Chains A and B, each alone.
Chain A
Amino acid sequence: MSSLTSAVRDLQRELENKTNDLSKLQKDIAKNHQVRKKYTVQLGENELVLKELDLLNEDANVYKLIGPVLVKQDLAEANSNVRKRIEYISAELKRLDATVQDLEEKQNSKKDAILKLQQKIQSIQTTKGKA
């Protein structure tokens, strides 16, 4: 009987650990989602800027706000900068997507493990009860 109880206790401890891991995973996934959202918004904005820049004449003045300073920029330079930024953001998004997938898989497997543990605990408890 005592061995059973200790076994149950062990299992329960394991269950706790697993649940903690699961909650951590879930937090990570949530953070990931947030960062993804931010990047998506930035990407949209950059695309808008690119569109407007394309509509500008060659001789139009473009300024960039760096801190409190408005710096005059070359149209071509501005164009290339914006394009590079867009590429960077898309790459980031893809990376984040992969991470999210990974995290979700881990989360699912953790859930399964927890379920199994719970079932084991239950079965042991029922046998204990019967015995």
Chain B
Amino acid sequence: MEDTRRGTVTSLASLFPVEEAQKAANRVQGAMAEKRAELDHLLGFVADNNNLINLVHKLPEELSHEIMVPFGKAAFFPGRLIHTNEFLVLLGEGYYAERTSKQTAEILRRRGKALDSQVDSLEAMIKDLQAEANFFGQTIAEAAEGLVEIREDYIEEDTHGEESKSGPLKQHTSDLEKTEANNEEYTRMVARLDELEKEEELAAESGNDNEIYEQTTEDDFHKSVSPVDQSNNKSIATESAEKHHNPDIADQLNFASLDLQSNVGEGKNAAAKKVKFVDHTGKPLIHHEEKTVKATTASKSEVQHQPSQPSFDSHKAFTGSIVEHTENLKTLNGQSSSSTSSQVSGSQPSKPVSRFKMQRR
């Protein structure tokens, strides 16, 4: 896939030269260190402020405190601290105000709030710088490893959804082969999906059948296309994607009655169906190994099972019993299971059970 697309390969190292990225990273680191120092400074202020508030709160508890008064540069003498409720608070710019302890505490608290907002803004800046540093670190690492930026043209294709991606795909150059291998699988899967889609479209034609089929199945209901099958003998052949297609077929073979088909309301191409059924079974389903066996046996015995039905069931794995429409319960070939057939016969209830419930094999 990839080879058909045009694209450009640019080495990351050319876009972001390693040395320059390194320099930028260092610069960012320097700025971050600065901010961190400022942050520490501010946090110191905050701590001091809190201590002061506590002190201001404690002082008025006593009328006077016994203290050692500093005298000059290197001397103290014992003294008393009086007027314990009067504080001269520095408002700024050389202005002092006389306040009580409570008022002082208020002033200090307001100052603390202003400090906190400053701290927050600084922290935000540091976070941004951190993000920048991370980005630089990443680019340096990637450029050093030799990562390559690959751009491809985006070509609109309905079937292939995302094969071609426009925009840069980063891949290691060495892994290109692996990618191609993956692409092959992808192509295969996409091809199958396409088939299933077609089946669905066909199924859309025969609408009702699907309900019945849906009733049954337990396990793998890989119904990517499920109900589609019914109507499409042709499509059936093409749709190999259905895993459990066979089991459905087998079940249907059991019924082997045109009536069934009519009851279900599916298309009646009895004769054609038979043929198709065989084809159906013969389809190269993706996972149809086991089922194939069943299917083949079933096909033989089956007369005309509506292909639509089987196709529907093919997606399901039958592990349960087969419930049949009363009318359709005609021939249950022993291959699958007498038990189931008996079950089926016994369970010919009026309720429209899917015939696709096949017995376990």
A interface residue numbers (CB < 8 A to B): 42, 45-46, 48-49, 52-53, 56, 60-66, 70, 73, 78, 82, 85
Contacts of B77 in A (CB 8 A): none
B94: CB under 8 A from chain A?
yes
CB distance from B340 to the nearest CB of A (A): 88
B63: CB under 8 A from chain A?
no
* Bound: A52/B96 CA distance, A: 10
A-B contact sample (15 more), CB < 8 A, given A48-B91, A48-B92:
A45-B93, A49-B95, A52-B92, A52-B107, A53-B97, A60-B97, A60-B98, A60-B99, A61-B97, A62-B95, A62-B96, A65-B94, A70-B88, A82-B93, A85-B93
* Bound: A66/B94 CA distance, A: 7
Contacts of A63 in B (CB 8 A): 88, 95-98
Cβ 8 A contact of A82, one of B95, B96, B110: B95
The 4 closest A-B pairs by CB, nearest first: A61-B98, A49-B92, A65-B94, A63-B96
CB distance from A121 to the nearest CB of B (A): 27
- In the complex, 11 of the A-B residue pairs with CB atoms within 8 angstroms, ordered by the A residue number, are A46-B93, A49-B92, A52-B97, A52-B107, A52-B110, A53-B91, A56-B97, A60-B99, A62-B97, A63-B98, A65-B94
B55: CB under 8 A from chain A?
no
* Bound: A62/B96 CA distance, A: 6
Contacts of B99 in A (CB 8 A): 56, 60
* Bound: A45/B111 CA distance, A: 11
B286: CB under 8 A from chain A?
no
Q: Which residue of B lies closest to A81 (CB)?
A: B95
Contact A78/B94 with A48-B114, A52-B107, A63-B88 known, Cβ cut-off 8 Å: no
Contacts of B88 in A (CB 8 A): 63, 70
- Determine the interface band of chain B, counting residues with CB < 8 A from chain A: 10 to 19
Contact B96–A64 (Cβ < 8 Å): yes
Contact B96–A65 (Cβ < 8 Å): yes
Contacts of A62 in B (CB 8 A): 95-98
CB distance from B352 to the nearest CB of A (A): 83
Contacts of A64 in B (CB 8 A): 94-96
CB distance from B118 to the nearest CB of A (A): 10
Contacts of A60 in B (CB 8 A): 97-99
Contacting A at CB under 8 A, from B103-155, are 107, 110-111, 114
CB distance from B87 to the nearest CB of A (A): 11
* Bound: A85/B97 CA distance, A: 18
CB distance from A66 to the nearest CB of B (A): 7
Q: Which residue of A lies closest to B89 (CB)?
A: A52
Contacts of A66 in B (CB 8 A): 94
Contact B96–A45 (Cβ < 8 Å): no
CB distance from B96 to the nearest CB of A (A): 4
Q: Which residue of B lies closest to A67 (CB)?
A: B94
Contacts of A65 in B (CB 8 A): 94-96
CB distance from B105 to the nearest CB of A (A): 13
Cβ 8 A contact of A42, one of B93, B95, B107, B114: B93
CB distance from B92 to the nearest CB of A (A): 4
* Bound: A62/B107 CA distance, A: 15
CB distance from B2 to the nearest CB of A (A): 46
* Bound: A48/B113 CA distance, A: 12
Q: Which residue of B lies closest to A51 (CB)?
A: B110
Contacts of A45 in B (CB 8 A): 92-93
Q: Which residue of B lies closest to A56 (CB)?
A: B97
Q: Which residue of A lies closest to B86 (CB)?
A: A61
* Bound: A70/B96 CA distance, A: 8
* Bound: A43/B322 CA distance, A: 89
* Bound: A45/B114 CA distance, A: 11
